[in-house]
Copies of this chain bind each other. A is one copy, B any other.
């Protein structure tokens, strides 16, 4: 059986491991710490630093392919490894587009993919000019390293100058984008093999709270078949044009165009399994983690038929204080109330805002499924039922 070397030790690598086991494999991890989310449950772990070329070489020794649970491996290392004969999927030329928000937008514009108006911001003057062009509707973003809303700002015109000069002084490379009047956010995921096969999943609605994904609903409720088709086609095009392999998430804005018609534009790309694809573990024939492994190995892709009319994924995000009741007891309370709830925990310690798990719930009635998934996730964080339920 081929060895898949996974660079990264978070929950995405952890959930790849469960699928790898069933495929008769076991992944090799390059992990930063033995107690990281993935390393604690993996048999074949190399401890090391993903920014260190020597460590990357050790991790990939004898492996059929190198893949990732994040996009932060230095591009030059990947080029060097490829020169040495390593099979890197997705490759660095694709990955650069997931590392830098400005590079990504330029590339997307080049291939004709819809993106909101944007500009590089290298000075306060750049920012003022962009703000004038978009009537003050500015969304400022750190080009690199942002996640979960860290690195995104919506300054009022009066705050713009000081914010921009502050960030530039601190050495943060910036870009600006028009703040769009969101109807909601969507995610179109696909998997693509090096030899070309591409399979899109159903488009999901991605609910963001304070810049962080808290919920995903599959398929996106009330999405017109035309828009769904357009979003899927867009994701396929991005995968093909950018040469992405493995799982790709295309995060989308849904908003109204000048004529009041719903339309979409790309917000972000993730070249790996993604939070908005966790629902596939319990609502789809082939999960994103299995599909990612198959895709990077250039194996034929699996069916993405949904196994339930609707699946809701609700994130378990650490709150301000970890309740006294142990997590295992909170889990069993959720199991007792909702026998259909599928709880996935990442082996991470509780910390405010940290993704420590998620709940998937599949069923026929959107409103019930969504309510129960939310209640379950909220209970796991707080040990309280948001609806006042008493067991």
Chain A residues at the B interface, C-beta cutoff of 8 Å: 1-2, 14-15, 17-24, 26, 39-43, 45, 281-282, 285-286, 294, 299-303, 305, 307-308, 327-328, 331-332, 335-336, 339-340, 342-347, 357, 362
Contacts and interface: CB of A to CB of B under 8 A. Distances in A.
Contact of A23 (B285, B331, B339): B331
Contact of A285 (B14, B328, B332, B340): B340
A283 to B, nearest CB: 9
A340 B299 contact: no
Contacts of A1: 327-328, 345, 347
Contacts of A300: 332, 335-336, 339
* Copies of this chain assembled into the complex: 2
Tell me whether chain A's interface is mostly helix, strand or loop, or mixed: mixed
Contacts of A308: 307
A302 B340 contact: yes
Contact of A335 (B302, B343, B345): B302
A19 B41 CA distance: 11
A24 B302 contact: no
Nearest to A333: B300
Given A15-B21, A285-B362, A307-B307, 14 more contacts: A14-B21, A18-B21, A23-B345, A24-B346, A24-B357, A26-B40, A41-B43, A43-B43, A285-B342, A299-B331, A300-B335, A301-B335, A302-B335, A302-B339
Nearest to A17: B21
20 contacts: A1-B328, A14-B21, A15-B21, A18-B19, A18-B21, A20-B41, A22-B342, A24-B327, A24-B343, A24-B346, A26-B347, A43-B43, A282-B285, A294-B335, A299-B332, A299-B335, A300-B335, A303-B339, A305-B340, A307-B307
Nearest to A337: B300
Contact of A18 (B22, B40, B331, B340): B22
A41 to B, nearest CB: 4
B24 A301 contact: no
